[in-house]
Amino acid sequence: MTVASDARLSSLDRMLDDSQVGETFATDMFAVVDAVDSSATLRRAVTDPGTPEGARRGLVHGLFDGKVDRAVADFVAEAATLRWAGGQTFAAALERQAVRAVLIVSDRGRELEDTEDQLFRFARLVESSPDLRNILADRSIERSKRQDLVGELLRGRATEATIMLAKRAVAARERTFANTIEGYVTVAAAQKNRVVATVRVAKPLTSDQLDRLRAALTKQIGREVAIQEVIDPDILGGVRVELGDEVFEGTVVDRLEAARRLFG
């Protein structure tokens, strides 16, 4: 991601934080994203740097006023005045803000951490089940039917935000369902200025061990860390921490492998 694209996303983050995010904001924003995704002509029109900003703003209002919440139309119109690398980049940026809108409402209901954890766990469930993973990825099955399946699996077991985002992830904007959910979890953590650490262990850590690990990681990176624990029998012992692109090894397997390289 370039400095310019980071700046645009940060600008949209601030815009959303200053917006009136109501209960229907995310649903309407997703509808706009679907409209933009479905029309190459529209994508070009709203991101063409050769078109005056006022004209792009007017185009958005002409298309969406009266069809979506006014706050959503205003937000998209202002977003269209920024310089984008292309229509698909613009659509992805709007999708991110729709996800953030879901999470803002979840946070308002004090369910943000539950939503974050449930999304992570559901993604792990899907990845561990080849049949389920293949069904959700099968584009020959109508998206609505795949989304209904996700809803049935989570009904009564997750927050409304979790269900809404898990169903949305079926579209797999980030290549796969799991990758898309992983992106949502990262955005959820960022809502509280946290980063996500995936911790792989052979057996569940105790509360004290989790607290000490969290404190150590927070001290190392200077930001609060949200730990997502994964039980992996192949670890044998110790712990493997994945923090962004960094991996910290402290497992029996890792030490055995190091010994094998030393004496092999």
- Could you report the per-residue pLDDT of 164-209, keeping only the tens digit for each? 999 999 999 888 999 999 999 999 999 988 888 888 888 888 888 8
- pLDDT for residue 241: 85
Residues 123, 201 within the same domain: no
| Helix H or strand E segment including 117 | helix 112-128
Q: Residues 38, 16: one domain?
A: yes
- What integer pLDDT is reported at residue 205 of this predicted model? 85
* Position with higher pLDDT, 145 vs 228: 145
- Kindly state whether residues 177 and 205 are assigned to the same domain: no
Question: 160-168 vs 87-108: helix axis angle to the nearest 10?
Answer: 170
Gap between the terminal Cα atoms of the chain: 41
Q: Which residue has the tokens 């990825």?
A: 137
Q: What is the largest CA-CA distance in the chain?
A: 72
Distance in angstroms (rounded) separating the CA atoms of residues 14 and 7: 11
- Structural domain count, the chain: 3
Among 43, 74, 108, the domain-final residue is 108
Model confidence at 263, pLDDT cuts 50, 70, 90, reads low
Range of the domain at 131: 109-192
**131 and 180 together in one domain:** yes
Closest CA to 21 of 104, 90, 88: 104
Give the model confidence (pLDDT) of 75-123 as tens digits: 999 999 999 999 999 999 999 999 999 999 999 999 999 999 999 999 9
pLDDT digits (tens, 9 = 90+) for 15-62: 999 988 999 999 999 999 999 999 999 999 999 999 999 999 999 999
Contact 115, 162 (CB under 8 A): yes
Regarding pTM above 0.85, the answer is: no
Determine the Cα–Cα distance for residues 143 and 145; give it in Å rounded to an integer.
5
Same domain, 97 and 63: yes
CATH of the domain at 232: 3.40.30
165 with 213, same domain: the answer is: no
